[in-house]
């Protein structure tokens, strides 16, 4: 098995709001291995983006704060690094692309300026070297006429092209980890297929580890090697992609898989998970899914289930698979 690249250990990121504390990331632990694509799935507000932002240390403070836990990157605890060391790492070793390619590029600078910026900052290239490298990168992400694009402004490009440019910027310093936060959600399906193809290509050619955040189980099935499912700030299940789709164990994961309409598999009626995601403010120490769960037991309402491996490498946080739960 490949070496561990990133490890989250009991990460806690909280936000202070006027209504109370929101534990956006609540005791999250998982790891990403070198060259692996790990998908974090969950619905809005489950903490998947905050987990990634904590890794990058881009949590706005206040209101947010990493209050506990450790994040290891190649054995170093990132939370103990100085600001300067962290900014050397950010963009060079760990790069990130976002959901909105419209708002993540600066509209007043040319594409060329934005691609060369990390090259000049991190790799100390000369302007000339940086330009040559930028043209190479633009070609690599599949955009024709790189010379012309180099001098264009973001508004002159389509959404798909902008996302390609974001990928080019992210890859400019050959990072070991690429974080992609819903990279295709704002794009049309045919463009999504192109971008996913490009990301797969990057992974095989450069052996870059990818942490991909998505809510689309179809994208997970296509891209992931390993999957982490989050709900209300906690990891509730993790497994390899084949294992997870073959035998989802947590009732929430099972529900998600059943609720998605799948092409050419028309059902008479879609399964739907009743209710809605709980209010994230001041959640108690119980299973946060209990009020939507059809298998809810007494213990689920009072005690949070531990995340434990019951089958090799397949971890689930659910009382159904615990001795204490079975006793009921």
Partner 1 sequence: MSESAVPLEKSYVGGTGEPLIQVEDLKKYFPITGGVFQRRVGDVKAVDGVSFTINKGESFGLVGESGCGKSTIGRTLLRLNDKTDGKVYFEGKDMHKMSKSDLRKIRTKMQIVFQDPFSSLNPRIKVGEAIGEALLDHGLVSRKDVKERVIETMKICGLADYHYDRFPHEFSGGQRQRIGIARALIMNPEFIVADEPVSALDVSIQAQIINLLSDLQSEKQLTYLFISHDLSVVEHLCNRVGVMYLGTMMEMAPTDELFSNPLHPYTKALMSAIPVPDPTLKRERIVLQGDIPSPANPPSGCKFHTRCPMASDICKQQIPEYRNVGNEHFVACHFA
Residue 188 near partner 1 by CB under 8 A: yes
Residues 229-248 contacting partner 1, CB under 8 A: 241-242, 245-246
Quickly count: other Cβ atoms within 10 Å of residue 76's Cβ: 12
Residue 82 near partner 1 by CB under 8 A: no
Residue 84 near partner 1 by CB under 8 A: no
* Beta partners for residue 107, in sequence order: none
CB 97 to partner 1: min, Å = 18
CB 211 to partner 1: min, Å = 18
Distance CA 154, CA 110 (A): 7
Q: Strand 234-240 vs strand 209-214: parallel, antiparallel, or unpaired? A: unpaired
Residues 193-222 contacting partner 1, CB under 8 A: 193-194, 196-197, 215-222
314 φ, ψ (degrees, to nearest 5):
-105, 105
CB 119 to partner 1: min, Å = 27
CB 96 to partner 1: min, Å = 22
CB 274 to partner 1: min, Å = 8
Q: Which one of residues 83, 190, 204, 285 is an interface residue with partner 1 (CB under 8 A)?
A: 190
Question: Between 197 and 298, whose beta carbon lies closer to partner 1?
Answer: 197
Residue 18 near partner 1 by CB under 8 A: no
3-state SS, the chain, equals: CCCEEEEEEEEEEEEEECCEEEEEEEEEEEEEECCCEEEEECCCCCCHHHHHHHHHCCCCCCCEEEEEEEEEECCEEHHHCCHHHHHHHECCCEEEECCCCCCCCCCCCCHHHHHHHHHHHHCCCCHHHHHHHHHHHHHHCCCCCHHHHHCCCHHHCCHHHHHHHHHHHHHCCCCCEEEEECCCCCCCHHHHHHHHHHHHHHHHHHCCEEEEEECCHHHHHHHCCEEEEEECCEEEEEEEHHHHHHCCCCHHHHHHHHHCCCCCCCCCCCCCCCCCCCCCECCCCCCCCHHHCCCCCHHHHHCCCCCEEEECCEEECCHHHCHHHHCC
CB 115 to partner 1: min, Å = 20
Q: Which one of residues 269, 285, 323, 327 is an interface residue with partner 1 (CB under 8 A)?
A: 269
Residue 132 near partner 1 by CB under 8 A: no
Residue 155 near partner 1 by CB under 8 A: no
CB 242 to partner 1: min, Å = 5
Residue 3 near partner 1 by CB under 8 A: no
Q: Which one of residues 266, 285, 312, 327 is an interface residue with partner 1 (CB under 8 A)?
A: 266
CB 212 to partner 1: min, Å = 12
Question: Between 231 and 319, whose beta carbon lies closer to partner 1?
Answer: 231
Residue 152 near partner 1 by CB under 8 A: no
Q: Which one of residues 271, 308, 310, 328 is an interface residue with partner 1 (CB under 8 A)?
A: 271
Task: Give the footprint of partner 1 on this chain (CB under 8 A).
Answer: 43-44, 158, 160-161, 188-194, 196-197, 215-222, 224, 241-242, 245-246, 255-257, 259-264, 266-274, 276-277
């Amino acid at each position: 098995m490949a070496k561990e690249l990133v490890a989250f250990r009991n990460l806690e990121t909280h936000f202070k709001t006027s209504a109370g504390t929101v534990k956006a990331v609540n005791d999250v632990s998982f790891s990403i291995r070198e060259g692996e694509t790990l998908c974090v799935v969950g619905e809005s507000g489950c903490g998947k983006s905050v987990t990634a932002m904590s890794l990058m240390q881009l949590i706005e403070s206040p209101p947010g704060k990493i209050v506990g836990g450790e994040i290891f990157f190649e054995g170093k605890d990132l939370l103990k690094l100085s600001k300067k060391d962290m900014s050397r790492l950010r963009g060079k070793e760990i790069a990130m692309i976002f959901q909105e390619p419209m708002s993540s590029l600066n509209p007043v600078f040319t594409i060329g300026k934005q691609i060369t910026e990390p090259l000049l900052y991190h790799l100390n290239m000369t302007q000339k070297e940086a330009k040559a490298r930028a043209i190479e990168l633009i070609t690599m992400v599949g955009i024709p006429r790189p010379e012309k694009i180099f001098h264009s402004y973001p508004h002159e490009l389509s959404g798909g092209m902008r996302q390609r440019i974001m990928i080019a910027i992210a890859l400019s310093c050959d990072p070991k980890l690429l974080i992609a936060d819903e990279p295709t959600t704002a794009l049309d399906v045919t463009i999504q297929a192109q971008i996913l193809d490009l990301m797969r290509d990057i992974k095989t050619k450069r052996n870059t580890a990818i942490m991909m955040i998505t809510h689309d189980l179809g994208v997970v099935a296509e891209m992931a090697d390993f999957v982490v499912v989050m709900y209300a700030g906690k990891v509730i299940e993790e497994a390899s992609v084949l294992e997870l789709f073959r035998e989802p164990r947590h009732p929430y994961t099972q529900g998600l898989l059943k609720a998605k309409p799948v092409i050419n598999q028309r059902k008479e009626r879609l399964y739907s998970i009743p209710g809605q995601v709980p209010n994230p403010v001041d959640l108690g120490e119980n299973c946060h899914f209990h009020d939507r769960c059809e298998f809810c037991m007494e213990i689920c309402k009072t005690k949070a289930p531990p995340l434990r491996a019951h089958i090799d490498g397949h971890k689930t946080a659910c009382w159904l698979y615990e001795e204490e739960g079975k006793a009921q």
